[in-house]
């Protein structure tokens, strides 16, 4: 990526004209720039911009021609922002924010058209932009539906048993959320948790999940009379970076009078993208006695250096490797090396997505400690789990 550069221009210098293609935007470091429209030899000023203001961004963001012309009013120095620099930032933003940007730019172009009383030009949306708009709108609709469903108490926690792979005794369970709308099929968390995670819903939602899991764990402990049973709770990245996550979890733990070492927090490697802040939180949780597990291990991009510094109790090998390992040597090689890596770091290994007996036998032979998958059980309601434990 090229770097932004600072360039000086004399007064009255035309930077670009309406209708041209644009490959850069400008930020005014010093000086003043006029933005204007021309029609039939007449100029229509739109705005006079000064220090710190940006212009020439529209043609880049909406991939259309320059919506107006720009000329320096006095000697000016301008910072040139390349197309890549600008687009990189736009593309990194949320799809809904990008939708808003497109809508606003479209309105501004339409307003400019009115100023010169041109016959209305048709502004085409590209196919890709159209698709994105539809997705963004769907996302907002789903978010509203989720929020309503949350109020209506349509969510329930289910539990998928985790077994000791040697004895096949249940030693814990992973809490997996289920959404049962009053009509129609249940909706997969793979669909709605993604939307939840990228909206402000994640804070009340995350708190509700932890509270439900703690309440259920208390009930398991009092009814099933099982020692050392732990519940694994999925914690999403956004939740994890919530500033008072530790106090919020601790308050709930105390409310239900639970000991922290029967609570396992499951996070994906993605939480490490933020580096040291996440590591600090992990260390504090570990100091308080919580168990920590890395989910979907092997699919992320966490640096091993971080991994070595994390106070992890176990890693969970991703289902995709378990599914493929019997037919694909590469997947098997990955499974073996993940097990070896975990063992050398004194971590226990959980294999998820075990569906076949052969998979179980192979994983047992390779030294995996715990297993989870349809072979043992799908995620089930609390009362069914308690019956299994009795
Ligand atoms: P995950 O944490 O990787 O959860 C494991 C998923 O694999 C679950 O899907 C589980 O039902 C499924 N699974 C387990 N064993 C097998 C198997 O043998 N075969 C097959 N085909 N699938 C198996 P589920 O419940 O649909 O959850 C999908 C994802 O949604 C989870 O992936 C997790 O990322 C997210 N999620 C679910 N519940 C929660 C929650 O309470 N909080 C958060 N933050 N995320 C959740
Ligand atoms: P772009 O379309 O790339 O080139 C012309 C620039 O003028 C445009 O980006 C905006 O930065 C700016 N611009 C367009 N319309 C207006 C307006 N109505 N008021 C102020 N600035 C504008
Ligand atoms: Ca999980
Ligand atoms: Ca997983």
Tell me, what DSSP letter sits at residue 125? P
Give the Å distance between the CA of 136 and the centre of ligand 4.
26
Higher-pLDDT residue of 122, 245: 245
Q: Which atom of ligand 2 is the closest one to the Cα of 68?
A: 5
Nearest residue (by CA) to ligand 2, atom 11, is: 55
Q: Specify the range with the lowest mean pLDDT, choosing from 16-20, 112-116, 335-339, 353-357.
A: 112-116
Instruction: Fill in the DSSP letter of residue 340.
Output: H
Confirm if 310 and 278 have CB atoms less than 8 A apart.
Answer: no
pLDDT number for residue 279: 84
Q: Is the pLDDT of residue 175 over 60?
A: yes
3-state secondary structure of 156: strand
What's the whole-number average pLDDT of the chain?
A: 90
Separation of alpha carbons 104 and 112, rounded Å: 12
The span from the CA of 163 to the CA of 369, in Å, is 9
Average of per-residue pLDDT across 238-242: 82
Please report which confidence band the pLDDT of residue 4 belongs to, taking 50, 70 and 90 as the band edges.
Answer: low
List, for residues 189-206, the tens digit of each pLDDT value: 998 998 898 888 898 999
Q: What pLDDT score does 271 carry?
A: 80
CA of 130 to the centre of ligand 2 (A): 23
Does 353 sit in the ligand 1 pocket, CB within 6 Å? Answer: yes
So what's the pLDDT on residue 116?
Answer: 75
CA–CA separation, 83 vs 99, rounded Å? 19
- 31 CB near ligand 2 (under 6 Å): no
Q: Whose CA is nearest to atom 17 of ligand 2?
A: 46
Q: How many CB atoms lie within 10 A of CB 71?
A: 18
CA 222 to ligand 4 centroid distance, Å: 28
pLDDT at 298: 80
Nearest CA to ligand 2 atom 1: 56
The SS3 of residue 30 is strand
pLDDT band at 270 (very low <50, low <70, confident <90, very high): confident
The pLDDT of residue 117 is above 80: no
Mean pLDDT computed over 207-229 = 93
Q: Which ligand is nearest to the CA of 190?
A: 1
CA-to-CA distance for 370 and 363, rounded, in angstroms?
9
Res. 273: pLDDT tops 90: no
CA distance 282 to 288: 10
Q: Which atom, in ligand 1's list, is nearest to the CA of 266?
A: 2
Question: How do 33-39 and 69-72 pair as beta strands?
Answer: antiparallel
Instruction: Supply the DSSP symbol for 187.
Output: B
- Determine the pLDDT at residue 310: 84
CA of 222 to the centre of ligand 1 (A): 26
Q: Which residue has the higher pLDDT, 354 or 275?
A: 354
> Ligand 2 pocket check: which of 58, 65, 83, 116 to mutate, most ligand atoms within 8 Å of Cβ?
58
CA angle 131, 132, 137 (to 5 degrees): 100
Ligand 2 pocket: which of 15, 33, 44, 68 to mutate (most atoms within 8 A of CB): 68
Q: Which residues contact 131 (CB under 8 A, 6 or more apart)?
A: none
> Ligand 4 mean position to 351 CA, how many Å?
9
Q: Is the pLDDT of residue 168 over 90?
A: yes
pLDDT greater than 60 at residue 2: no
Q: What is the mean pLDDT of residues 77-98?
A: 90
Please tell me if the CB atom of residue 58 comes closer than 6 angstroms to any atom of ligand 2: yes
Going through 251-388 in order, the beta strands assigned E by DSSP cover 263-268, 291-297, 314-317, 348-351, 370-371
The three-state secondary structure class of 260 is: helix
Stretch 50-73: mean pLDDT: 95
What is the tens place of the pLDDT at every residue in 249-267?
999 999 999 999 999 999 9
Q: Which atom of ligand 2 is nearest to the CA of 35?
A: 7
């Amino acid at each position: 990526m090229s770097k932004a550069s600072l360039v000086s221009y004399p007064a009255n210098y035309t930077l670009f004209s309406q209708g041209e293609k644009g490959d850069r935007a400008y930020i005014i470091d010093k000086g003043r720039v006029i933005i204007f429209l021309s029609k039939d030899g007449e100029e229509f000023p739109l705005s006079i911009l000064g220090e710190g203001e940006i212009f020439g961004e529209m043609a880049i963001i909406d991939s259309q021609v320059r919506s107006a012309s720009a000329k320096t009013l006095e000697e000016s120095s301008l910072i040139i922002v390349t197309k890549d620099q600008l687009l990189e930032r736009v593309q990194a933003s949320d799809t809904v924010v990008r939708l808003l940007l497109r809508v606003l730019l479209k309105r501004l172009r339409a307003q400019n058209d009115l100023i010169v009383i041109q016959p209305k030009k048709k502004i085409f949306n590209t196919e890709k932009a159209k698709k994105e708009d539809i997705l963004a709108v769907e996302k907002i609709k789903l978010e509203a539906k989720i929020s309503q469903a949350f109020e209506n108490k349509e969510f329930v926690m289910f539990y998928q048993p985790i077994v000791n792979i040697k004895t096949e005794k249940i030693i814990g369970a992973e809490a997996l959320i289920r959404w049962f709308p009053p009509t129609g099929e249940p909706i997969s968390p793979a669909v709605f948790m993604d939307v939840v995670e990228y909206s402000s819903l994640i804070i009340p939602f995350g708190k509700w999940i932890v509270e439900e899991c703690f309440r259920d764990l208390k009930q398991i402990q009092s009814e099933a009379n099982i020692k050392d049973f732990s519940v694994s709770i999925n914690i999403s990245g956004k939740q994890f970076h919530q500033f008072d996550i530790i106090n919020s979890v601790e308050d709930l733990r105390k409310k239900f009078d639970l000991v922290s070492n029967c609570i396992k927090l499951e996070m994906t490697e993605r939480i490490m993208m933020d580096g040291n802040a996440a590591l600090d939180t992990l260390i504090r949780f570990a100091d308080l006695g919580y168990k920590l597990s890395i989910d979907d291990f092997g699919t992320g991009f966490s640096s091993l250096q971080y991994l070595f510094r994390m106070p992890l109790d176990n890693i969970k090998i991703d289902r995709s490797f378990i599914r493929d390992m019997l037919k694909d040597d590469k997947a098997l090689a990955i499974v073996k090396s993940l097990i070896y890596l975990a063992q050398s770091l004194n971590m226990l290994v959980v294999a998820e997505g075990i569906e076949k007996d052969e998979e179980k036998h192979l994983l047992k032979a390779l030294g995996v400690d715990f297993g989870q998958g349809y072979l043992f059980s799908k995620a089930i309601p609390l009362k069914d789990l308690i019956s299994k434990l009795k």
